[in-house]
Amino acid sequence: DAGVIQSPRHEVTEMGQEVTLRCKPISGHDYLFWYRQTMMRGLELLIYFNNNVPIDDSGMPEDRFSAKMPNASFSTLKIQPSEPRDSAVYFCASRGQGPYNEQFFGPGTRLTVL
């Protein structure tokens, strides 16, 4: 298995632009999580899905952030409009029915908003 796939790996954009981050979870996993990591706040859960349905989006910072999961193999996290304080590394993770409810993380997308 290729693991969790994220794209792009790096994104540099200007303030006000729309940014879309993409994630392909591990095949067969029914949970998908979006995290944000910064030096100041560490890893924070933004939103998670179960069977493509958003379950908890309480971590989404503002209405500028939105996430979708149109099918079991694809999810997007969109920021519109982007702001410099959104600069961070965004991770996607997926989880199946294995023991310990282990989450497997993707390589992350490093976002820089100028």
Partner 1 sequence: KNQVEQSPQSLIILEGKNCTLQCNYTVSPFSNLRWYKQDTGRGPVSLTIMTFSENTKSNGRYTATLDADTKQSSLHITASQLSDSASYICVVSALDSSYKLIFGSGTRLLVRP
Nearest alpha carbon to residue 105 among 39, 20, 45, 38: 45
- Under the binding rule (CB under 8 A), the answer on residue 12 touching partner 1 is no
Beta strands in 1-114 (DSSP E): 5-7, 10-13, 19-24, 31-38, 42-50, 53-56, 65-71, 74-79, 88-95, 103-105, 109-113
| Closest separation in Å from C-beta 44 to partner 1 | 8
| Closest separation in Å from C-beta 63 to partner 1 | 22
Q: Are 34 and 46 in contact (CB under 8 A)?
A: yes
Token pair for residue 64? Answer: 């500028």
- Under the binding rule (CB under 8 A), the answer on residue 96 touching partner 1 is no
Question: Considering only residues 4, 23, 77, 88, which one is a binding residue for partner 1 as defined by CB under 8 A?
Answer: 4
| Interface mask toward partner 1 for 52-71; x: CB under 8 A | ---xx---------------
- Under the binding rule (CB under 8 A), the answer on residue 30 touching partner 1 is no
- Under the binding rule (CB under 8 A), the answer on residue 45 touching partner 1 is yes
- Under the binding rule (CB under 8 A), the answer on residue 76 touching partner 1 is no
Residue 11 pairs in a beta bridge with 111
